[in-house]
Structure 1
Amino acid sequence: MSDAQQQPSQVSGALSQAAGVAYQAVGALPGTADSWTTEGKELQRKGREEAEEARLRAKGEATAERVEGKVQSAWGMVTGDQEALNQGNVKAEEGEWKRDLADGKVPVPSAERVKGKVESAVGMVTGDVEKQKEGNIRAEKAEWTQG
């Protein structure tokens, strides 16, 4: 069995929960054994646990990716390495999206943070390192003071 098959999965967990519901439906029919209902409840419980474990794993991996991106971006800013700064920004943004999506939500930044991200993106596209740095600082400051 491969690693992918052994790791918890939200899809597999949802399928187990659905199977549990089906088992319980059979168990509700007159003349069927109580074991159908019992097995159905157990499948649902295991499915919920597997889905939650997969969600937490995905969230943890995304958070680690986001932090790694922030560190890479900061390093690029400090050393003047534009490529590291850009790659770090992209990695941090991807991690943020993955983390929030694991929780079933879409990241909604403050208006000030959006302004900073836009300013940073303009600096990235135009090659204006100072504008990009200012945008990064503005976005970070807005994120840290947000909540």
Structure 2
Amino acid sequence: MSSDQTTSSEPSKANGQYNSMMGTTKEFIGNVTGADSWTQDGKDQHAKGEAEYNAAQATEYAKGTYDRAGGKIDSVVGAVTGDKQQQMSGNMRHDKGQVQQEANKPQ
């Protein structure tokens, strides 16, 4: 009965949300109809979805941290060497990383 979606080996927030929602729906149907297999399958799919969402969130947060730090280094090197393009590019990468961190901050 499981209809887990798997699109890649990397965790996906969208896929995690889908499986969480579908699991909750199956669990509800199982509870209403008394079908224990649906209830258990729904609980399992919901848990897998939540785990995938959290893993994807952590991965994206880490990528944001990496971009933020790398951007800061590029910006400083650009400022020291007088390379305005590198400095501007570093600032943009830093800001992109900061936004990515904010969007994936653990709750």
Q: TM-score scaled to structure 2, two decimals?
A: 0.87
1:48 maps to what in 2? Answer: 50
Cα separation, 1, equivalents of 2:102 and 2:26: 33
1:29 CA displacement: 2.2
**Aligned pairs for 1:15-30 within 5 A:** 15-30=18-33
Which residue among 6, 12, 15 is the counterpart of 2:15?
12
1:71 CA displacement: 0.2
2:100 maps to what in 1? Answer: 98
Contact 2:61 2:101 in 1 (8 A): yes
User: Percent identity of the aligned residues?
Assistant: 29
2:89 aligned with 1:87, yes or no? yes
1:123 maps to what in 2? Answer: none
Cα separation, 2, equivalents of 1:29 and 1:96: 45
State the AA in 2 paired with 1:59: Y
Cα separation, 1, equivalents of 2:51 and 2:106: 17
* Unaligned 5+ runs, structure 2: 1-6
The structure whose Rg is larger is 1
2:4 maps to what in 1? Answer: none
1:33 CA displacement: 2.5
**Aligned pairs for 1:1-147 within 5 A:** 5-30=8-33, 32-103=34-105
Q: Deviations over 1:61-111 (max 9, x none)?
A: 111011110000010111111111111111101110111111289xxxxxx
Q: Please identify runs of 4+ aligned residues in structure 1 that moved more than 4 A.
A: none
Contact 2:65 2:98 in 1 (8 A): yes
Cα separation, 2, equivalents of 1:87 and 1:29: 56
How many residues matched?
A: 101
State the AA in 2 paired with 1:81: D
